[in-house]
Copies of this chain bind each other. A is one copy, B any other.
């Protein structure tokens, strides 16, 4: 089936890697608002090149690029990707420059190769293989490629809410995925929500010699007290009503989870830990992974951070926190509850600028499109480990009313998305293209 297409993919592997490298050389860091318009145009041209009609949709932030091709097929497949990447800091921890992609030992290194320019390129190149070999597409195709996924897709609703017809499809492939530590491919059916906030305290007009701490208020202490009030030492989140309304994992999700091997011991080595949080293990570890919200400190800043001692009473202190939200929680609600919590505890001086947020969403584990992806994966990689949700976040909630989506991709457990030395295995990238062919094939006969 589609041998000419898969042969083309194999024969032009180096060319497709070159296309990926070109895309990765643009440092499209959404957090810095860098290179986004430029990258949108590059992606548009890649879509045009494979024969798609395209459009660039301006938003209040980065534009959304769409592409489509209606071949009159019964089924329509939608791809959701993003052309922005995380900041590459700290630069000094990269073995090769983050925006100069380089291959070493069968891995391609560079910011964005895993998250998610590798997936974007692999999907486009698969369609190129159909076009170049003159092979009829078995399904209609739609692409939605946004540019602010790494900063919470803040402006994507401006596009999706006005284009619900476009994002309606029979099945969709979400942006990421890959091989787990066990070597098997993994698919993610849902994404947790997120609420990202910064707690800020400012008490003095300038930093002061620390001898004055005996009589002056300390911003850093205020911050520590406020942050401490959010979570106890067993990691219970203490904000009143935080857990209210949470929808527990369903029976069918629990059944799916029951069959998943968490590879606890191997992952302990990867993370360099002796125990998981609170000694979690077995079913309890799984339930936390798929079903728990979090309150995590992403950054703490105050005063002198250099070597040795500097005796200063800092004027300011701040803490970046991300809350991962599960089904039944909403960021606006958590924002209000956090504000009330701080006020009730006397921390009216602690400011909390809301940075980003959206709720969780899931595709049901028993949806027929999940079977399509499983069957396609079986043909290329073998067994697929299906996770009811990722512990990570993404704006799936904007799509899942209109299209059942499954997240698969060309990464692996060593891909280090969001970290230095992000990479993918070139062989996984090649086979991921074959899998897209198989998904289209399986979908056409569903």
Mark A residues whose CB is within 8 Å of B: 31-32, 86-87, 89, 151-152, 192, 194, 196, 203-218, 220-221, 223-225, 227-228, 231, 233, 235, 270-273, 275-277, 280, 285, 288-289, 292-294, 296-314, 317, 320, 322, 324, 346, 355-356, 390-393, 417-419
Contacts and interface: CB of A to CB of B under 8 A. Distances in A.
Contacts of A214: 277, 288-289, 292-294, 324, 391
Contacts of A392: 209, 211
Contacts of A223: 300
A298 B314 contact: yes
A393 B209 CA distance: 11
Given A220-B297, A302-B300, A303-B297, A311 B215 contact: no
Given A210-B296, A211-B391, A215-B276, 8 more contacts: A208-B271, A214-B288, A217-B273, A218-B235, A224-B300, A225-B228, A228-B228, A309-B356
Nearest to A355: B309
Contact of A224 (B89, B212, B297, B312): B297
Contacts of A221: 231, 235, 296-297
20 contacts: A31-B308, A31-B310, A32-B307, A86-B310, A209-B417, A211-B324, A212-B391, A213-B294, A215-B289, A216-B276, A217-B275, A220-B297, A220-B299, A221-B231, A221-B297, A300-B302, A300-B305, A301-B305, A309-B320, A309-B355
A284 to B, nearest CB: 10
Contacts of A87: 304, 306, 310
Contacts of A356: 309
A301 B84 CA distance: 27
B224 A228 contact: yes
A288 B213 CA distance: 10
Contacts of A393: 211, 311
Q: Is the interface of A mostly helix, strand, loop or mixed?
A: mixed
A288 B218 contact: no
A5 to B, nearest CB: 34
A243 to B, nearest CB: 14
A322 B309 contact: yes
A225 B236 CA distance: 13
A325 to B, nearest CB: 11
Top 4 closest pairs, chain A to chain B, by CB: A205-B272, A220-B297, A213-B296, A211-B392
A27 B417 CA distance: 42
A160 to B, nearest CB: 21
Contact of A277 (B194, B216, B273, B303): B216
Nearest to A303: B299
Nearest to A416: B206
